Chain A
Amino acid sequence: MPNLKDLKNRIASVKSTRKITKAMQMVAAAKLRRAQDAAVAGRPYAERMNAVLSGLAASVGKSDSAPKLLAGTGSDQKHLLVVLTAERGLCGGFNSSIVKLARAKAEQLIASGKTVQILTVGKKGREQLKREYSSHFVDHVDLSEVKRVGYANADGIASGVIDRFIAGEFDVATLFYNRFESVISQIPTEQQVIPATFEDTGETGTVYDYEPDQEEILADLLPRGIATQIFAALLENGASEQGARMSAMDNATRNAGEMIDKLTIIYNRSRQAVITNELIEIISGAEAL
């Protein structure tokens, strides 16, 4: 049986852990709000961009002159997996679930004889994938210095990816990130970005005039469309990270509370046992006289 002093220390330490997890939960809640606002604020741009591009893609996409970013290279031998994860841990299964999805995809591609390259964004994903796939790594984007993810970050990632595509390093690029569903549910998602795909908005197109011509506009817009998709993914991921951290820390706080209750009971019991023991010793001492 642990002695009273040890128990007391233990209770104190769990209490301070609880304070930390509680604080982290509150911070995550505040950050989550901001992240959600950012995701909502980014939506109009992404929606317009998607609508215009899907219209353009539908009219130009079939022709032979369609840009490679849209039509693809005609092969799918070389794959680039862009894995977006968090810079920090303590957010439940957030990072692991993305990595798991990416790993499954990588296994499947490797098994079918394709070449796999991995580009990681965020330290945690890199750490988890390093053991098995370090030979497949092509690049890593570090966002740990970035307080708020901006469009410029997404643009940087996108132009890096597009440069590799133009250089012929890969045929298909897929993004892995967590789509934000709610605080308790984030859905690991894979999304193909190159060759570019756009959701069909169902808007039956107004016939537009294009200035300059369609091909030029498409060539100009496609990289931006890809950057926008990456940006949207980063925002979703940011909100998901905070949501996951919030619920993980909520759980931790609750567990710490339960543990404190349990330890307090043990502490009180052993304290009573000590008192009872002392009483028995005194009484039996008195009787012996």
Chain B
Amino acid sequence: MADTMQFDLVSPERRLASVQATEIQLPGADGDMTAMPDHAPVITTLRPGIVRVVSSEGTTEYVVSGGFAEITSGAASVLAEHALPVSEMTQDILNGFAADAAEKQQQARPEEKDVTAKRVADIAALASEIGLASS
């Protein structure tokens, strides 16, 4: 059994990470999940949250604003619309996410209300997790 898997984190504008990881924790839309080598192939959507990558060099954390992840036995790719290392996360960026989500909620068609409301809540949860004020 392989003990590492290829992990890629890409946003439309750039590739943020490409490392060999032993463990990846993902904020799946239906609940957190951890992918390890030889995981069954899964495609899941992500909610706004934190992706933790454990590799031989330690644990790295990234904030993602949603997107999706594709996991196969030897690799995991996270495709996120916005992604950045937790250390670069600022209140401003968070406020941007929150404002965006709030605006979407305003404009949402009735059948989408649930989804957008969840998104607003997810961002608030993300804010408290990394110790920033949720606006």
Contact = CB atoms under 8 A, between A and B. Distances in A.
Interface of A: 38, 41-42, 44-46, 48-49, 52, 56, 150-151, 154-155, 206-212, 216-217, 220-221, 224, 228, 231
Nearest to A51: B70
Interface string B115-129: 000000000000000
A41 B43 contact: no
Interface in B75-129: 77, 79, 81
B11 to A, nearest CB: 6
A48 B12 contact: no
Nearest to B104: A159
Contacts of B29: 211-212
A217 B49 CA distance: 18
A52 B10 contact: no
5 contacts: A45-B12, A45-B15, A49-B79, A151-B13, A210-B44
Given A211-B42, A220-B68, 4 more contacts: A41-B13, A52-B43, A209-B41, A217-B43
Contacts of A228: 12
A163 B45 CA distance: 22
A58 to B, nearest CB: 13
Nearest to A221: B68
A48 B15 contact: no
Nearest to B69: A211
Contacts of B28: 211
B132 interface: no
